[in-house]
Amino acid sequence: MTRPLPVALALLSLLPGAPAVARTVYRCVQNNTVSLATAPEPGSKCTAEQVDDNAVQAPNLWGNMGVFSGTLYEREQDGVLVYSTRNLPGSRVFLKFTVTTPPGEPAHPGLGKVGPAQLNRHARQFKAAARATGVEDAWLRAIAHAESNFDAAAVSPKGAQGVMQLMPDTATEMGVTDPFSAEQSISGGARYLQALLKRYKGDRTLAAAAYNAGIGAVTRYKGVPPYAETLAYVEKVSALYVRYRDAMGGAPQTPAR
């Protein structure tokens, strides 16, 4: 049985111990994956979110993740029944659901301008992140150049932070505790780009578009969203990638999957 997300959230309000008008849903992050639960999950970093049962539309606690299907599990924890979308030990299937998250909106056109390659900016951190994730060093630098011009203290008008201009929720999911640390930002950004490249089978254009506008927008438009700033961003990253690849004397590489 597959049900839409609003039904799954509504069911949480009817479970034992849930209040009649509002409830607490925990958004839990573990190993860069997100789940929703009625109680904090062991081994996850969980944040309590208050959900109003009288709201016209169920809140989006997942983020911009496009369309995907999942399972709500039931298990015992501390002597009571709890529910979670993560399959933890002792869980049994309660119901199946489908999530359609909002398409989001473009982050920003980028703070850096197309210019010459800057190979001396955070070179050690980029090399380490490339080795750890398999994402090409030249492409990581092109994204950082377009995003922040390598400024570790950069903050966009929409709240993106650091060298890789990660939004706070994305930074948390990537394990970044200090978004203004160049090392953490570059490492987190590389892990996020690695996931995007895996999702889009190595297509850098789609990965860059999703990095700027969100996965939901790419899913909605079945390609690069027709947002002026996203189109300009993708073009800028592509131009910078060529400059960094040439400056570093390397040919295009295939990302790790």
Closest CA to 144 of 235, 18, 240, 224: 240
State the DSSP string of 94-140.
Answer: EEEEEEE--------S-SSPS-S--TTSSHHHHHHHHHHH---HHHH
Euclidean distance between CA atoms 207 and 203, whole angstroms: 6
DSSP classification of residue 85: S
Residue of 41, 136, 147, 173 marked catalytic? 147
Active site residue 49: no
Q: In the block, which residue shows the tokens 């049985």? A: 1
Measure the CA–CA gap between 190 and 197, rounded to whole angstroms: 10
Q: Closest by alpha carbon to 73, among 86, 55, 59?
A: 86
Positions marked active-site:
147
